[in-house]
Structure 1
């Protein structure tokens, strides 16, 4: 998110050869007490390290964890009589029935009818026709190629299962989210009530949804749909509400003067004028749904996530690569389709849309072809069940061989990088955070929160730290915090280097930005595959996956922030003879501090969102605790406690960075202009 700040006043002329003007830096003084807190922390740590760390050996559980597990067992035992469980059971049955009906229509040959109601040819033709209707012929070809790739690589059923889960979730999200978006867009009181709920939903890491959802909805398709819905709902509500609020007040007043009612204003003015923004929200919701539907493999949700998870569990990159690549293909297909639909809706609303006769002929002809294909796929078995191909197996084998060659050839270099980061950064900072007595880390973190964010950040931090202590996972929380902070530092280094480069060179921006857009389209689960191939299972692997996931958003925020610095200010500095380095460090970066803080905030939360996924590849700590709670019923309570602890960690980091931005906003005229933004909670969807 970026905003256009008012242009700063140009600095006073400086004599030739004199030092260039330096923006005000009132916030620099905060680093002095912060350094003092860290120094005292290190001194006390050297005398007390290893004491009262609250570390649990291995898979040990505490009484609190066992009580949470007993709570789950009691709910499950009373499933037949508990009204809440009966209600959730009925929802689960309805969702399961919807998924199975669609599977019967397009996928599974195991139902009473020997082939699907609509075979692969009919499904492919129908999807291609939808792409033509909502967008254009180019999108139709993209959809056609994507669907054919699902079958050619041997994952037709898993791909359609993933689309079914995603589609049902998006439809329900639209039914629920669009009215809520309209409500918060037209009612300030409703906006004040709903926004904190959306904040909480977007702060919570995705895996944390799954434990309570399994409790109330069981495992399988119903749990997959519910978890996907919860994850995908906030973007549509937020963006639709924003679009409706942004409708010109002049337009509304002009139409109100004609005596229109509330519903007429909403249906004929606000929603049509916010159509493009609403479709952007639908795009974000669709991609979020696809991402979560992939992760739903952990609760036995059908789809491509299952073979990816199977490959990761046995550390077979080749097995995980092919379905992972198909997930990327599906994400690109959905992203481009919804984006093109948004652009077409805008053109039609403005009276464009190309040659109407040609398009009408294409739509009618496409409908005829689609109906013929559906008829053929219902008539001939060979056109109902996708032929068996071995291309996927060959590609998987080739990828495995390539990974083996790469690791044999460059294993020394990758191992050196891993050891360098682990020994010089991870181990050192973890020793301070996790090996300190819990009370020392508690006090030190609270003090740093107060230094950077003031009283507001201090209160939130104390509450969150107290929650981490209460749930008996303090040591694991500190290890997770350590990995998150180290990864965020590396993310911000990349963001500064590439963001400034993009902002200062338009050709670099044009070359890198499409790669960043593609990186944000890929579901996070898929990032583990290449990283695991390079570094094997370890903490560093999890951190690297988090960096790859978080870097695109941070780089774009820094680039946009630096690019927004007033050209007048830059030219005034150049007139004094300052060097490129001085221009970057003394003008552009200080003036873009708001974007830097926003990038840091988003980088932290993106990295934290990968915590549990990283637990699959040796990250340990809270990520492993959640995964362990999934895999062992007797450890469900520990998994839930770990999930809640991750939420507390995310809320604490988010509140500190937001409060730090607000404090800096009041530091002076320069920083007040730079920080004229409001930080969102959680990674943008």
Structure 2
């Protein structure tokens, strides 16, 4: 017998009670359903239609790409576009050559550069003092001395030249675009936003092949690659600063009858100065990162000895120039950051202008004297050879030999554990499933997490990956990327929650995370190669180390941003510490978690591609092979395009998932463009 209860009668005019809420399975449960079906079908079809091809075989599309490359090279003297790009590359090359003979290499018949190391160091130190203060001046002087003492003065100067030529061009091109980006409104900048999204999604290694095709190799290619990669930060960040100027301030100044140009130059640019300097900082760091990687296409600078060390598995030989790259990165990062703070302090009147002018005048005279001495005296023009670099390289080799011999069991256990628990099973599922099964599963997961906004880019990108004939290699790369992202998020959640809940942890860890974000990705391969040797795990581990700082900080800031009132309310109900973290803080910081996963995934993809240099194989190796062998250019180009498609697909699925979360919390964000901007 069952009992039924009639609904309570409602009074006339009273609102009817809302219908009971219909509950549906959460998205993670639907995702598990998709994966379960995938595994069942895979069990009956594994090894079929995986589209695996031998490394030296080419598809028709890849052969057509090679033919395209050959036709471009054959038309260098007749094609106006190719002539224009090569002329532009020659101009960049001539600028680099002039600057290099000025401060880096002998300007024959003069046996030394026009300005020797003492003069260059003095000028750089004076500039650091002028823009950022005496602490930065000391840092700059110490950095420049280290370049010479360790035997890499010319390479260091060449890397700085490439970086600053590219940054100067990025500022000239980027600031007008930033002004447009900040003043035209989101509808007017939709196309520019899409282009910037694409440029920031591309792994750095992918830029090399197409630029080499149209600009040749050497300094010109290094400058152009660096320029393209360094453009988005200054456009985006400076444009955001201009857009963020208070509407009330603009309206108040407009009431005085100012023109649009006066509004820009008198109000918006001055008030956005601090943000513009941040954009310049990010542009410089991006340029340094790309200029280092450009060594692979014969770009000059410290990247050359790092690359040679990686190719020879010479950890000590790669460590010393890699360390100097880190020194340079820290110097540039701290200088631009301190310059921003100094300009703000000066704007508030916190500087004695008269004393500052006297100090700069006196030190400027001393710098000019140093320049004169460096032109007249050989000892001040060229660094003498020292044993510092070779001794440090030998010490590093000895250290890593001791570490690998002593802790071989630990490192091998790490490799075996990750391979057994994550890498091998996931690779078996992705790479040994029929291509149509993998495609259907990815589209289904895209729909589960991102709805139709996730499905459309997934279908388009998967079709492109299939078209370019590297499906199996893509699955191998995707396996490494997903495993690396999982490890990054484990670190991000554990350390991020710890930083958010313990101030001591935040104070101790944040400086290391900040420093980690200044190191170019190329450098991360050096110690990891010493620990694990050339393998796919080396690329994954380097990707984890490279991506972890940004992901950890995003999670920490998201968890820390949870309202204190909400946390206190949960404690009043008797929540334990574990419940408080898992039931309150992490769910409310879900947006930060999704963003951390998105950034971590793209960072890992970038490093896994570079890992082709240290035995990671798959798409990264295809790119390396195509760049180094002319007959493999088509396959390398197809791999580069495939990496772009893979990155776009993963990025768009993650963005769509984040948008769905935002819509679930706030239905007013249903607009596609508003959601993407958010």
Matches within 5 A, 1:81-230: 81-109=78-106, 111-188=108-185, 189-230=187-228
- Map Cα deviations across residues 430-472 of structure 1 (whole Å, 9 max, x no partner): 0000000111111111111111111111111000000000000
Partner of 1:304: 302
Q: 1:485 to 1:652 in 2, by over 3 A?
A: same
Two-structure CA RMSD over aligned residues (Å): 1.9
Residue 237 (structure 1) aligned with residue 253 (structure 2):
no
Partner of 1:32: 29
Partner of 1:248: 246
Task: Supply the distance in 1 between the matched residues of 2:553 and 2:366 (Cα, whole angstroms).
Answer: 43
Cα offset for 1:662?
Answer: 1.3
Task: Supply the distance in 2 between the matched residues of 1:350 and 1:444 (Cα, whole angstroms).
Answer: 58
Extract unaligned runs of 5+ from structure 2. Answer: 1-20
Cα offset for 1:40?
Answer: 1.2
Matches within 5 A, 1:23-62: 29-62=26-59
TM-score scaled by length of structure 1: 0.94
Partner of 1:661: 658
> Is the Cα–Cα contact under 8 Å of residues 659 and 676 in structure 2 kept in the other structure?
no
Partner of 1:16: none
TM-score scaled by length of structure 2: 0.95
Q: 1:167 to 1:352 in 2, by over 3 A?
A: same
- Structure 1 stretches of 4+ with a deviation exceeding 3 A read 24-28, 668-673, 676-681
Task: Supply the distance in 1 between the matched residues of 2:23 and 2:590 (Cα, whole angstroms).
Answer: 12
Partner of 2:569: 572
Cα offset for 1:113?
Answer: 2.2
Q: 1:197 to 1:449 in 2, by over 3 A?
A: same
- Map Cα deviations across residues 119-164 of structure 1 (whole Å, 9 max, x no partner): 1111010100110111101101100000000000000000000000
Task: Supply the distance in 1 between the matched residues of 2:357 and 2:606 (Cα, whole angstroms).
Answer: 46
Cα offset for 1:663?
Answer: 1.5
- Map Cα deviations across residues 368-427 of structure 1 (whole Å, 9 max, x no partner): 111001111111122111111121000001100111111111111101111111122101
Task: Supply the distance in 2 between the matched residues of 1:666 and 1:232 (Cα, whole angstroms).
Answer: 33
Residue 456 (structure 1) aligned with residue 438 (structure 2):
no
Cα offset for 1:346?
Answer: 0.9
Residue 640 (structure 1) aligned with residue 637 (structure 2):
yes
Matches within 5 A, 1:193-592: 193-353=191-351, 355-592=352-589
Cα offset for 1:171?
Answer: 0.4
Task: Supply the distance in 1 between the matched residues of 2:267 and 2:37 (Cα, whole angstroms).
Answer: 61
Cα offset for 1:669?
Answer: 6.2
Cα offset for 1:26?
Answer: 7.5
> Is the Cα–Cα contact under 8 Å of residues 288 and 329 in structure 2 kept in the other structure?
yes
> Is the Cα–Cα contact under 8 Å of residues 315 and 530 in structure 2 kept in the other structure?
yes
Q: 1:374 to 1:110 in 2, by over 3 A?
A: closer
Extract unaligned runs of 5+ from structure 1. Answer: 1-23
Count, aligned residues: 656
Q: 1:228 to 1:350 in 2, by over 3 A?
A: same
- Map Cα deviations across residues 294-318 of structure 1 (whole Å, 9 max, x no partner): 0000110000000000000011100
Task: Supply the distance in 1 between the matched residues of 2:445 and 2:193 (Cα, whole angstroms).
Answer: 28
- Map Cα deviations across residues 157-216 of structure 1 (whole Å, 9 max, x no partner): 000000000010000011010111011111124422311111111111111111010000
> Is the Cα–Cα contact under 8 Å of residues 629 and 638 in structure 1 kept in the other structure?
yes
Residue 605 (structure 1) aligned with residue 605 (structure 2):
no
Q: Which moved more, 1:416-425 or 1:311-320?
A: 416-425
Cα offset for 1:680?
Answer: 7.4
Q: Which has the higher contact order (CA 8 A, sep 6+)?
A: 1
SS at match of 2:664: coil
